[in-house]
Amino acid sequence: MKAIVTGMIATFPLGGVAWDYVQYAVGLERLGFEVYYLEDTGWVTYSPIEKQLVEEPTYGIEFLRQTLSMFSPSLANRWHLRAMNGRTFGMDTESFSRIAREAELFLNVSGGTLMRDEYLGCARKVMIDTDPGLNQFVLFPRQDAAEPWPGGKNYRAHDFFFSFAERIGKEDCILPSLGIQWRPTRQPVLLDSWCPRGPATSWTTVMSWKSLLEVLE
């Protein structure tokens, strides 16, 4: 069985972002799938060296190679990335398009990968909504209001929809369902990749969408 897992490891080449996607890919490998990684956001990438968004994904490509190689020898050779300028890296476009047609599962984690025509042949196109709230209130309504994207479809082209918002669709949840049947899901965790520690004495967190929304304007 073949599966494609999408992500943004090269787009935002940072440790926390890599974990978001690699745990899906490696997890499916352990379940017996032949897994391929795809990154095709149609967007610029972040360079930690330059501390800014750039069009040339040189840093991100190397970070992606190292990340996949570290977790899986097979994934190290089974990836395809299309940059904003149309350049491709990893597997060639023709080979990856064939894999997309053959795959039993196309798992679009975060919905960050563009739904190009060549990816639509997969029988089970699944979107994982990892940013509930931002997606339902901001990004998805923007896509619904926009002109059809040439060469592909918007988020509604998926066959199944899962969300980290476990109450979405229920009467007590204020998130709009947008006419979609959402299924609850949670982030997979590779337990053997983490070292357990005792409980901390305090817990703090900082969360804001402001900077992200400014970038997306």
Return the number of other C-beta atoms located less than 10 Å from residue 150's C-beta.
6
Q: What is the pLDDT along the chain (217 residues), one digit of tens a residue?
A: 999 999 999 999 999 999 999 999 999 999 999 999 999 999 999 999 998 999 889 999 999 999 999 999 999 999 999 999 899 999 999 999 999 999 999 999 999 999 999 999 998 999 999 999 888 988 899 999 988 777 889 999 999 999 999 999 999 999 999 999 999 999 999 999 888 888 878 877 766 656 555 555 5
Do residues 10 and 62 lie in contact, with contact meaning Cβ atoms separated by under 8 Å?
A: no
Question: 2-192+200-216, which class in CATH?
Answer: alpha beta
What are the residue ranges spanned by the domains of the chain? 2-192+200-216
